[in-house]
Amino acid sequence: MTLTPLDTIDLPLDDRRDGKVRVSYAFGDNHRLFVTTDRLSAFDRIIARVPFKGQVLNQLAGWWFEQTSDIVANHMVSLPDPNVLIARTAVPLTVEVVVRGHITGVTDTALWTQYAAGVRTMYGHDFPDGLQKNTKLPEPIVTPTTKGEMGSHDVPLSCADVVNHGHVESELWAQVQAVAVAVFNRGRERAAHAGLILADTKYEFGLDTNGEMMLIDEVHTPDSSRFWIADTYDACMAAGKEPQSLDKEVVRRALADVGYTGEGDVPELPAEVWEQTSARYIETYERLTGLTFERGTYPADQRITDAVATLEIP
């Protein structure tokens, strides 16, 4: 049976906001309702729609919010539907907090892309000569970027830039960096138990109505993180091959292989790329959580509309 991926949704709620992957609405005075669609973004563009991707992101992020709540507060309240999150209202910080444990990547902002071009100072960090792609860094590093709107690119920042350019005041930024590294280390521990390597990830932070910092958006999903299969990592490195990946890097590589860097029309990719991507997302969920992925019914928009209609707005 052919499934039609969830591209968007129209709910009878106020203050609609559209992101690259999520649609959100006001839900009472101090909450928002987020719907995670099946849209897949790469190179800061919407590339495709992949069945069950939104459900994986939503449910896996919910699991990780629970796994990291002892480190930092988060915005999650409940998941009333596989694709729906009720969250506390937040004022997002104007930077994305990327934590990198390996030197890798194919995008313009990736460490390896810049390093291979001869750059040795990136995001305010100095790197020695002689590094190899996909190798582990001595310690995780924070590499912030601006938050590009849909269709625009993120701009790299140093940690000093974040404060000097007025994005985040210094005391809060120091707290954000410490928490980000702690959450990343928790992610690496859990990933290792699942036979995976968490190579790098992206976090978003915001302030609640009392001005307290909290983790928002999503955590350690195949969209925001790069997961490699641990058992085959050494063999791949020895053979000069890319690590086996359980994230959307397969899409980035397929696009890069045909010369696409984010500008112009998106080239068509073979159907198996999208089939493999859906399978990778589901496998990542099951490996990390130890749970069996229960596929939500399609069409997802009707299921979500029906679920939201039963909710009581606080």
pLDDT the model gives residue 177: 98
Residue numbers of the chain with a pLDDT score lower than 50: 151
Cβ neighbours for 113, distance < 8 A, ≥ 6 positions apart: 105, 106, 107
What gap in Å lies between CA 239 and CA 132, rounded to an integer? 13
Two tokens, residue 56: 């994986």
Residue at 163: amino acid letter: V
What gap in Å lies between CA 252 and CA 156, rounded to an integer? 19
* Right CATH for 92-252 from 3.40.50.720, 3.40.50.300, 3.30.470.20, 1.20.120.530: 3.30.470.20
Distance from chain centroid for Cα 307: 25
Q: What is the pLDDT of residues 60-94, one digit of tens each?
A: 999 999 999 999 999 999 999 999 999 999 999 99
pLDDT the model gives residue 32: 98
What gap in Å lies between CA 251 and CA 284, rounded to an integer? 16
Number of residues written out for the chain = 314
pLDDT the model gives residue 1: 54
pLDDT the model gives residue 148: 63
What gap in Å lies between CA 139 and CA 312, rounded to an integer? 46
Contact 218, 183 (CB under 8 A): no
pLDDT the model gives residue 253: 81
Two tokens, residue 184: 């990343």
Domain at 17-90+274-309, CATH class: alpha beta
Helices 53-67 and 170-193, axial angle in degrees (round to 10): 110
Q: Is 123 left (phi over 0), alpha (psi -120 to 50) or beta?
A: left
pTM of the complete model: 0.93
pLDDT the model gives residue 151: 47
Hey, which residues does 130 pair with through a beta bridge? none
- In the chain, where are the structural domains located? 17-90+274-309, 92-252
Two tokens, residue 186: 């928790």
Provide the 10 A C-beta neighbour count for residue 167: 16
pLDDT the model gives residue 152: 56
Two tokens, residue 179: 């928490």
pLDDT the model gives residue 260: 87
Look at residue 19 and give its three-state secondary structure: coil
